[in-house]
A and B are shown apart, each in its own frame.
Chain A
């Protein structure tokens, strides 16, 4: 049929972009995350200018608001074998990265209209935590809520992660939260009307050392006690699940078939659209500039689009939370740690589960579009906000992945990017009240797994906020635990 293409790699037509504009996606980064344009084999070379012209001609963008999405390395699809041929110094801490700045919070995109002058709840951070909380507050009848996001939707860690969702955790709290999250994700399309392509392909953890095997075995017992069917497998049995895997050096594996992967972008804007439908204001490209405090309470949240008087303020800004809290003289111990990730050319589905080697931090899965999406944490990565990409990562990741799955040496990497893990001293989140500021609530510090925990955490937080009934989540994981020396260590962190 007759179609006019704006992105031929991903089959995005002019009509689809008009629909995106109607839905409120105006800038290039947002339209990319709604339609998927610019994420194909040409890496945006053919489409980004065509899209810019189209958005400008349709009116939603003024000339100074027309900026290209961040170009990603590599410039041309390049095989993992090529990247693996370089070397790197494992002893040296990674630093640097390209591009030097990202423009997440393009000032030119700031809306002209002022924000609402009053709200019962102001949520700072329009990532999955903040939006899921707003949605759950609305479900409980509270719609006088404003969500403030500094950039476009998906600009932060919620739009930059690999979409892995698992029940295999090391503490009862996280196991049960994840179980509930997965239930909610399965219902997401029915509840919110958006497909998030949750695919329960399982998680396969590989262990190459005795200590990791012990950790997996201990974990499996815990999981089983909560009804999570984690099994400990021999390397041969693990190969039944992914026949292409090399099991060299693997001593055992842990397998839960109910874990899976979702597509992060629609999950985020699905929540945002549901919030807007209920009358909640989701304000993108809006900066928090400070707080008005009186008698140990926040009376107003100050933004670059005016002040909002409020009863309660929730800090759900992920790695940006300490910066926000500091404006109210509250110290949060979170530190951002860059985690790099990349995506490959799309291949016909062959890989069922997300595979992770716990010893090295390597993880990879195949998305619904067929791309191999994966990453590998760098133990030397220093703390600090750095969202640049390095070749060191491509080399480390390609070496580790092709060792595990040699056929993937041909696999071409299409693009790489990074996101911040919001790391706390004990790898557990910061939830609940704030000493010294009575109406400020914390909802951050999820160390890279906030994305999968958000539905369940937000559900409980909304219940706790609206009913006042006590919930151990908001007693155990408080900010005050650090001063009290009461740590809640979680050791099943990957990536």
Chain B
């Protein structure tokens, strides 16, 4: 079984009528992967089988209906006893989906705006069929329970992201007695420091608890009436946080590499696979192809091997994934090998969205082929009260991100609020 350790606090969840045992508080997606389940959903147009890819809430592959609510990201929703999970958008079920015929009929692609346009009678049928096929998930069963009223607050300095850069900044700000609030989306601090293939920066800095918000998702940076604020969801309550200065250390997002069948269940982002092993003690396959960038692939291969798996095709360039409903092999530039998971090691795409909303400039990094947030050496962006550090500025090691976090903290501690 994929689970590498015994369950400590078991809870039972219902997956389409089957009762499964899971670790309390682990992501729902991990609980299913641990049972050997990789087929999570069917895609919108071609009804291709899909499984979890990024495990950080940045793709749509793991959406399910959870407790009657459609389109829930199972990778960021944590298990509680009695949860009900159902797969969506398939007939009669996800394993044998009749509409997967679309995938066979349209071998390469089809554009629904051009397809059979203007053929009398057929166009009326087309409209009906399209309306039948549209949408993911059914209308929720009932209205939600009452949500507590949003809380409005004023803070001086907010750090978003508690990974290598954010924690290094927090440590330096604490040393300089500068108050701050650190917002982290995950239930634990650390980011790459606790979940990447290669660790090695030592203990994770733990700021004073009152300065940290764990499990808080920032939903947006707004500037209604010209005053900037963050909207975030924390402990089930919407927080409207006006700030004077902001340090963004959100890191990056695993992105797609366009090889054939790159969406097959069993294809994971390299970081997702490392996280599964490190954080959740789950290894989704015995033979894992660690393809892509050599350095990360090698580190991941060592991790896979250290927990009893076999790493293949290490650092090779993927050309095609094989398998019908899950990965059974991969063809790389060096030939075909059998495997039951593919981990894609690739440059992450910096999370630039919040910085852009805050007025920072986002430019194309020609060398790394990613969008990066433009900033000076200390991390100050076009908006003098908005700083960025770490992978939002481009690919860098955790050590380099920590260094950048410290530099930004130093600048924030020295300079005041720009008017």
Contacts and interface: CB of A to CB of B under 8 A. Distances in A.
Contacts of B43: 8, 11
Interface in A1-29: 1-16, 19
A3 B48 contact: yes
B373 to A, nearest CB: 11
A391 interface: yes
Given A54-B258, A73-B357, A347-B135, A82 B147 contact: yes
A63 B54 CA distance: 27
Contacts of B320: 2
Contacts of A83: 238
A4 B357 contact: no
8 contacts: A7-B256, A49-B253, A99-B359, A192-B118, A345-B137, A406-B143, A407-B140, A410-B140
A74 interface: yes
A67 interface: yes
A86 interface: yes
Interface in A72-99: 73-79, 81-87, 92, 94-99
Given A46-B53, A92-B225, A391-B220, 10 more contacts: A2-B320, A4-B262, A6-B256, A8-B60, A49-B371, A74-B231, A96-B227, A99-B357, A194-B117, A368-B131
A459 B233 CA distance: 50
A183 to B, nearest CB: 15
Interface in B348-365: 349, 351-354, 356-359, 362, 364
Interface in A34-77: 34-35, 40-42, 45-50, 52-54, 56, 63-64, 66-68, 70-71, 73-77
Interface in B98-124: 103-104, 106-118, 120, 123
A430 B267 CA distance: 56
A266 interface: yes
A409 interface: yes
A105 interface: no
A204 to B, nearest CB: 17
Given A3-B108, A13-B109, A197-B130, A94 B231 contact: no
Interface in B225-246: 225-227, 229, 231, 233, 237-238, 240
Contact of B126 (A48, A78, A195): A195
B302 to A, nearest CB: 27
Nearest to B108: A15
A355 to B, nearest CB: 15
Contacts of B262: 4-5
Contacts of B259: 4
A233 to B, nearest CB: 23
Contacts of A193: 114, 117-118
B238 A346 contact: no
Contacts of A411: 140
Interface residues of A, number: 99
A46 B238 contact: no
B352 to A, nearest CB: 7
B130 A347 contact: no
Contacts of A87: 149-150
State the majority secondary structure of interface residues on B: loop
B15 interface: no
A160 interface: no
Contacts of B354: 75
A348 interface: yes
B359 A5 contact: no
B138 interface: yes
A8 B58 CA distance: 11
A66 B372 CA distance: 12
Contacts of B24: none
A99 B360 CA distance: 10
A3 B261 contact: yes
B224 A3 contact: no
Interface string B207-232: 00000000001111111111101010
B107 A8 contact: no
Nearest to A2: B260
Interface string B10-30: 000000000000000000000
A8 B45 contact: no
Interface string B252-274: 01111111111100000000000
Contacts of A189: 117-118, 123
B59 interface: yes
A390 B349 CA distance: 26
A212 B340 CA distance: 64
Given A6-B256, A8-B256, A195-B126, A370 B120 contact: no
Contacts of A412: 71
B369 A347 contact: no
A74 B225 contact: no
- B111, B262, B351 interface centre (most CB from chain A within 10 Å): B111
A65 to B, nearest CB: 9
Contacts of B127: 197, 199
Contacts of A13: 108-109
Contact of A5 (B116, B142, B229, B263): B263
B364 A100 contact: no
Contacts of B70: 345, 347, 410
The 5 closest A-B pairs by CB, nearest first: A370-B135, A73-B220, A16-B109, A11-B45, A71-B353
B137 A347 contact: yes
A367 to B, nearest CB: 8
Contacts of A14: 258
Contacts of B255: 46-47, 49-50
Contacts of B415: none
Nearest to B359: A100
B139 interface: yes
A392 B229 CA distance: 12
B81 interface: no
A450 to B, nearest CB: 22
